[in-house]
Amino acid sequence: MDKVLSNKKIIALYVLPSLLLILAIVYIPIVLTAYYGLNEWNGIGAMTFVGVDNYLALFKDTTFWNSAWHSLLLAVFSGISLLLYLIVAMVLAARIKGANLFRKIYLIPMLLSSVAIAQLWLKIYHPTNGVLNSMLESLGFANPPAWLAESSIVLFALFIPILWQYAGFYILIYYAALKNIPASLEEAAKIDGANALQIAWKIKLPLVMEVIKVTIVLAVVGSLKYFDLIFVMTDGGPNGASEVMASYMYHEAFRAYDFGYGSAIGFFLLVICLAVTWVIRKLTASKDTIQYS
């Protein structure tokens, strides 16, 4: 068995095409980004090698650390919201009437592009005639806040559409994982007298654990390099209150023409992602993986 499963030719055949593609298309940019980060470069003229100056400057740059903090907050919220998505997926995967229809409807928002989602939420948050403030005013709240213009709330106001945007993605994955559990397992447990909660906790959860671990990494890494809605809805403002690492990278590289510094931010962002992923995998490591039997 081992002999068959360690056939080098087959392994090479399965892995090499993808690996080479990744190395060319993703790793060359990664390595070049690290290298640009060692230079002073406006992206146009000649580069000047400055060693680790950009990286040192990064450590002293409060704007960067603020944006890193915002990204980290988003990562924490994304991670926590996974629990909610899991519960929704469990309900949808249960054999209740109409579950199929509900599932399809629930996933529709994930089909929308960021451009559309941003426009929708800009209309919801509009300070004078937005849906939210119109509703609050009709409920008797005088002078509700301008959600995207107040430094103290803008970040959280942005988190809601971001989390909502990705809800469908995780519900879909959890749903597929739950559906993949053989029905016979659940039935056997029922015969043994287990109630629904026990089935969910003792049987389903362990079987989708590997998927959950993966989604934690995806959610955290995705949040740390998040860009889209923030860029369209607030552009990192006001006064940098919603600036995240990726938008800061973009502003430095493409607006301020400091491509060297922007690249340093980009590469450091990768290092942070790597470190956080490593921590997550350490924390969630388990001795053995559980399979369906």
Q: Which of residues 27-56 bind other proteins (CB under 8 A)?
A: 27-36, 42-46
Asked if 203 interacts with other proteins (CB under 8 A), we say: no
End-to-end CA gap in the chain:
20
**For residues 140 and 118, what is the distance between their CA atoms, to the nearest angstrom?**
27
Map the footprint of other proteins across residues 50-109, applying CB under 8 A.
83-84, 87, 90-91, 94-96, 98, 102-109
Question: Could you tell me the maximum CA-CA distance found in the chain, to the nearest angstrom?
Answer: 74
Q: What is the C-alpha to C-alpha distance for residues 214 and 180, in angstroms, rounded to an integer?
A: 16
Q: Does 259 bind other proteins (CB under 8 A)?
A: yes
Q: How far is the CB of 79 from other proteins (least distance, A)?
A: 14
Interface positions, 144-163, toward other proteins (CB under 8 A): 146-151, 154
**Residues in contact with 43: Cβ distance below 8 Å, sequence separation at least 6, in sequence order:** 253, 257, 259
Give SS3 for 68: helix
Out of 72, 73, 124, 160, which residue is the one contacting other proteins (CB under 8 A)? 124
The DSSP call for residue 238 is S
**Which residues ranging from 261 to 280 are in contact with other proteins (CB under 8 A)?**
262-263, 266-267, 269-270, 273-274, 277-278
Q: Which of residues 204-243 bind other proteins (CB under 8 A)?
A: 207-208, 210-215, 217-218, 221, 224-225, 227, 234-235, 237-240
Q: d(Cα 112, Cα 119) in Å, to the nearest integer?
A: 11
Q: Segment 7-26, which members bind other proteins (CB under 8 A)? A: 7-8, 10-11, 13-15, 17-19, 21-26
